[in-house]
Amino acid sequence: MKKILYVTDALDLHLDNLDFAGYICELAQSKLLAVFLENDESEMRTDSMIRTAAVNAGLNVTEEPLSLKQHTCDTNIQRFKTACESKGIDCVVHRDRGNPLSELILESRYADLLLLNVSTTFSPNNEGTPTDFVKDVMSNAECPVMLMPASFNGIGEIVFTYDGKPSSIHAIKQFTYLFPQLNELKTVVVSVNPEEVSPEERYKFREWMHAHYNYLDFLSSEGNVKMGLVELLFDRDKSIVVMGAYGRSMISNFLSPSHANPVIKVISQAVFIAHN
Q: Which of 27-31, 60-64, 154-158 has the lowest mean pLDDT?
A: 60-64
Q: Are 247 and 139 in contact (CB under 8 A)?
A: yes
Mean pLDDT of 151-175: 91
Per-residue pLDDT band at 86 (split at 50, 70, 90) = very high
Highest mean pLDDT among 36-50, 101-115, 237-251: 101-115
Domain check: are 223 and 178 in the same one? yes
Domain check: are 137 and 243 in the same one? no
Domain check: are 17 and 130 in the same one? yes
Percentage of the chain with pLDDT > 70? 92
Tell me which residue of 174, 131, 156, 177 sits closest to 7, measured CA to CA: 131
Q: Are 116 and 9 in contact (CB under 8 A)?
A: no
Q: Is the pLDDT of residue 140 over 60?
A: yes
Range of the domain at 107: 4-147
| Res 11: pLDDT | 96
Judge whether 152 lies within some domain. no
Per-residue pLDDT band at 100 (split at 50, 70, 90) = very high
| Res 258: pLDDT | 66
Q: Is the pLDDT of residue 128 over 90?
A: no
Tell me which residue of 106, 110, 83, 67 sits closest to 17, measured CA to CA: 83
Mean pLDDT of the chain: 89
Judge whether 171 lies within some domain. yes
Number of domains in the chain: 2
* Tens digit of each residue's pLDDT (9 = 90 or more) over 61-81: 888 989 999 999 999 999 999
Domain check: are 83 and 41 in the same one? yes
Domain boundary among 113, 147, 181: 147
| Res 104: pLDDT | 98
Percentage of the chain with pLDDT > 90? 67
Distance of alpha carbon 259 from alpha carbon 262, whole angstroms:
7
Distance of alpha carbon 77 from alpha carbon 71, whole angstroms:
10
